[in-house]
Chains A and B, each alone.
Chain A
Amino acid sequence: MAFIKLDNTSEKKFKRWVGSTEILLGMTNTYARVAITVISYLVLVGWGFYSLHFETAAVGYAIALLVCLVLQAASVRFIFNWDEVIDEYQSKRRDAAYRKAYKRIRQIFLVILLLWFIATFVVGYIQDHSGLKFESPLYMDNYRSVVVAIFLAGLMTLQKYVNYGMKGEPFVSVQEYRQLRDS
């Protein structure tokens, strides 16, 4: 939290509180994580596609994506943000998520490059007979470049949350949560 600078002890206390508070229960269970992930992808792709075609939609797109990313972070109790208060189980699961996310991003970029190469080959050799010309298949102006940049930033940031796994905390009421914790 850059905008509220707390002293070290209070900051740690606050982060530990977030790590176990019942307030976040509705967002941290498996069903909520699945729902947040589906919504995030719908915003990322759907709103992104809409923004490509309707100028002025990019600001709303960026804000909506940011909200989705905050929801994702809350659904894993900010373990990607707060190193100093996570335990070894959370740390292992987080590191595994980073590894998987790196592999997934690599795959996504390889697929994009491959598709671009195939499109270039088809246009250059089969349709136009003009040889390979690596032109952008999106014919992007400045506005569209911004939208694509927002999309790529969102896609890459989202990967760590998606690859963390959908398994969340048990779907329980506050009473059941307290019982699990205190039994």
Chain B
Amino acid sequence: MIQKKVCMIGASGVGKTSLVAKLVHSIFSEKYLTTVGVKIDKKTVAIDGAEVVLMIWDLAGDDDYQRLQTSYLRGTSGYLLVADGTRAITLDQVLEIQTRVAAAVGDVPFLLALNKADLANEWEIDDARLTSLNERGWKSFRTSAKEGAGVEEAFSELARRMIQPK
């Protein structure tokens, strides 16, 4: 069995913990509970017949109150960048955080999850922005921790990229 460490990266309140809760425990809560520090969960996903155990490190949102500790990224095989699609500023924030993460961990697979896709009426991130990111080789998923849309797909795709030989 292959085991891989995955880090959840993003600003506060974008839904990192909710995505993990949905993936691992199939639960969702509307109430926002901030993460302080780190919580680690485990989830096995099947990728092309192989079982991959994801050790998911849910890291506290990076903001003025708590900066991302790069020591938590040690040994990570990939990371999921999470932004809140209803707050465009969180995409700017995660792009900035990604530069710090890449400097710390180097060239490892990552994906972008634009979360809260269920709130379509409040969506603030336009397609042109995503097209521009796609042109840079970024793969993004619209996810909804509430409804589950895109959640397994995002983690499975990340797992697939992590086990692919370079």
Q: Answer yes or no: do A and B interact.
A: no
| A interface residue numbers (CB < 8 A to B) | none
